[in-house]
Amino acid sequence: MTNVYRTAEESGASLEELIVLCCIRLHAGTREADQLNKLLQSGVEWDKLIQLARDAIITPLLYLQLSTVCPTLVPPDVMEQLRTDFQANAQHNAMLIRDLLTIVKRFNREGIPVIPYKDPLSARTVYGNDVPRVYADLDVFIHEGDVARATEVLRTLGYSHISYIDAIADALDVAIEYHRIFAKDQVSYERMFSRDRVGPFDFANDHAGKLEPHWNFLPGRWAIRRNNEPLWARARKVPVGGTNVLSFSPEDSLLLACIHGTVIHGWLAWKLLNDVTGLINHTDLNWDQLVAIARQRGCLRILTVGLLLANEVAGAPLPDDIRQRLDHDPRTRAYVERVALQFFHRDATWHRGIVATNPAHSDLRYVLFMQERVRDKCRSLLRVMMLPVPSDVKMFPSLASHTRVFYLLHPALIVIKLLRHRLKPHA
């Protein structure tokens, strides 16, 4: 993309989308203040821009860029609305930080190692402070063997485990999932995080206290190397408010941001790209180590997607020698181009030929495509065939306490589904 704005315009991007793109590129360190000034003088639909920023989950960043670069070009009532959203997000982040420090202190006291993950504290590295990043919840990383202990500690702190399968056994839950969901107020949680919720996230009235402890970064069907001990070894302690808080290394943080964007959310929000961009531009990276870690874990294609998107769309700088060492499979290149267009075509079927729905959980083709090593693809196929899924437990809740039964039951259910599909008359 020699001219990202021309490319975006040719793809049908609106003026408001170009303004969002410009703000993200400014955050990446590009010198595009003149471009932003030009765009803002071209007949902006301000309500549309505010809604787009909310949908893209970058309203605080939009406010900071507009108020810093060109405040006189923004109508006062629009600037006031953006400022109100900015302040509500700041107060919400402050609440999350207090909750996070309480959890870290308690886990430390109980001897449970914990690393805050995608959290407001990390935003200080990416954004310079914890305000411009939008957080709806907290994520922490723990050892798989500590899941049961962490669950009990969180219950003593007033958190409830939100489970969609009440009868599922702990051992099976840990085997088939990669995180759990907790909330301080279940009624507020259901209101704030309901799939039927209409409108933007209401930061000012969020009392849910949503928390997700992770023991892996990928759903069960992904066979990418799941040994996380090296991440713990590379983690470093950072003093925050009198508490020593573990933090992932810059290299692991960037790789995990690429995994989060590619695997869990399929780059469905500008915020995900902005996280990767900020880590590239505002952290001291050992690029050789980053590529080596990605290659060792079987995540080179995932890293490639994140880095190329950050470079070509958001303008984040990449060393030339690192670009040469990324995954150069033509399908990876084509996928990056489709994702880049997806930022400007929310309703387009940009996944055509690779994935039709949510890439994180429902499409095996996507899982196989994103794993560059043949052995990982084969392992994923085996995991899909052998590893139980929550729907199995929903079908047979009375067997939920018999974990081993589902490892026999799941392959049988797959065979039955395949036979039913084969025998079903086709029009």
Confidence of residue 128 (pLDDT cuts 50, 70, 90): low
Query: At residue 126, does pLDDT exceed 80?
Result: no
**The predicted structure's pLDDT at residue 330:** 93
Number of separate domains in the chain:
4
**The predicted structure's pLDDT at residue 348:** 44
Q: Is 268 a member of any domain? A: yes
Q: Is 379 a member of any domain? A: no
Q: Over pLDDT 70: what percentage of the chain?
A: 86
pLDDT in tens, 241-300: 777 889 999 999 999 999 999 998 888 888 888 889 888 987 789 999 999 999 999 999
Task: Give me the DSSP letters along 334-351.
Answer: HHHHHHHHHTT-TTS-TT
Q: Is the dihedral of CA 344, 345, 351, 353 positive or negative?
A: negative
Whether residue 99 is found in the same domain as residue 199: yes
Tell how strand 211-214 and strand 138-141 pair up.
parallel
**The predicted structure's pLDDT at residue 1:** 41
The mean pLDDT value for 44-72 works out to: 90
Whether residue 100 is found in the same domain as residue 174: yes
Whether residue 223 is found in the same domain as residue 301: no
List of residues 6+ apart from 107 with CB closer than 8 A: 113, 114, 140, 142, 150, 153
**The predicted structure's pLDDT at residue 97:** 86
Whether residue 121 is found in the same domain as residue 228: yes
Q: Which domain holds residue 213?
A: 89-248
The structure tokens 């958001």 sit at 314
**312's tokens:** 């070509």
User: What is the C-alpha separation between 192 and 190, in angstroms, rounded?
Assistant: 6
* H or E, element range at 183: strand 181-183
Whether residue 65 is found in the same domain as residue 94: no
Query: At residue 136, does pLDDT exceed 70?
Result: yes
**The predicted structure's pLDDT at residue 426:** 55
pLDDT in tens, 371-422: 999 999 999 999 888 888 878 877 887 777 777 888 888 888 888 887 877 7
Whether residue 209 is found in the same domain as residue 93: yes
List of residues 6+ apart from 41 with CB closer than 8 A: 73
Whether residue 402 is found in the same domain as residue 342: no
* E strands in 209-333: 211-214, 236-240, 243-247
Name which of 319, 180, 316, 186 is nearest 257 in CA terms: 316
Whether residue 183 is found in the same domain as residue 159: yes
**99's tokens:** 């909750």
Q: Is 79 a member of any domain? A: no
Boundary (domain end) residue, out of 248, 268, 294? 248
**The predicted structure's pLDDT at residue 358:** 46
Boundary (domain end) residue, out of 248, 263, 279? 248
Q: Is 84 a member of any domain? A: no
**The predicted structure's pLDDT at residue 349:** 43
Whether residue 93 is found in the same domain as residue 238: yes
Query: At residue 50, does pLDDT exceed 80?
Result: yes
* H or E, element range at 147: helix 147-156
**346's tokens:** 């929310």
pLDDT in tens, 166-216: 556 566 777 778 889 999 888 787 777 766 555 666 666 677 788 999 999
Query: At residue 47, does pLDDT exceed 90?
Result: yes
Whether residue 300 is found in the same domain as residue 394: no
Whether residue 339 is found in the same domain as residue 277: yes
Give the side-chain half-sphere CA count within 13 A for 317.
Answer: 10
Whether residue 256 is found in the same domain as residue 329: yes
**The predicted structure's pLDDT at residue 226:** 74
List of residues 6+ apart from 133 with CB closer than 8 A: 60, 93, 120, 123, 126, 127, 271, 275
**102's tokens:** 């309480």
